[in-house]
């Protein structure tokens, strides 16, 4: 996470997974490996909006919606890796551009 210490929720998650012998956890990532929560947090501050990636009545591997202030902005394809961690099939820069367009 860009050299920053892991947040408390991540440390707790790792500890619990270790105790249960579960695979390692990685937060949702974009295609280029950038963590979704880092990009979303920065974009919400930059554009003074709320961004949500959600699946509404979907079945795997249906696309998820990206909503900006409750309005559907675009959809994004996703998959899970061998440990069950989510990867969105868009790079962080393209996601930023699409959010900027939606927030205008």
Could you read off the pLDDT of 12-66 as tens digits, one per residue?
Answer: 988 998 999 988 888 899 999 999 999 999 999 999 999 999 988 888 778 999 9
Within-domain flag for 38: yes
Number of domains comprising the chain:
1
Lowest-confidence segment of 2-6, 59-63, 91-95 by average pLDDT: 2-6
What does the pLDDT read at residue 1?
47
- Tell me the residue range of the domain where 73 lies: 28-103
Higher-confidence residue: 87 or 60? 87
* Position 2 pLDDT exceeds 60: no
Copy the structure tokens of residue 36: 């979704």
What does the pLDDT read at residue 40?
97
Within-domain flag for 53: yes
Q: Give CA separation, 42 vs 25, 48, 91, 92, 97, in Å.
A: 22, 10, 15, 12, 13
Within-domain flag for 12: no
* Position 72 pLDDT exceeds 60: yes
Within-domain flag for 20: no
């Amino acid at each position: 996470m860009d050299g920053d210490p892991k947040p408390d929720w991540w440390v707790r998650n790792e500890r619990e997974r270790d105790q249960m012998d579960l695979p390692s956890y990685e937060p949702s990532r974009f295609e280029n490996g950038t963590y979704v929560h880092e990009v979303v947090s920065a974009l919400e501050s930059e554009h003074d909006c709320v961004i949500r990636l959600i699946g509404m009545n979907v079945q795997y591997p249906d696309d998820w919606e990206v909503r900006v202030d409750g309005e559907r902005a675009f959809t994004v394809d996703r998959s899970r890796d061998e440990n069950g961690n989510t990867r969105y099939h868009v790079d962080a820069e393209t996601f930023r551009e699409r959010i900027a367009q939606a927030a205008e």
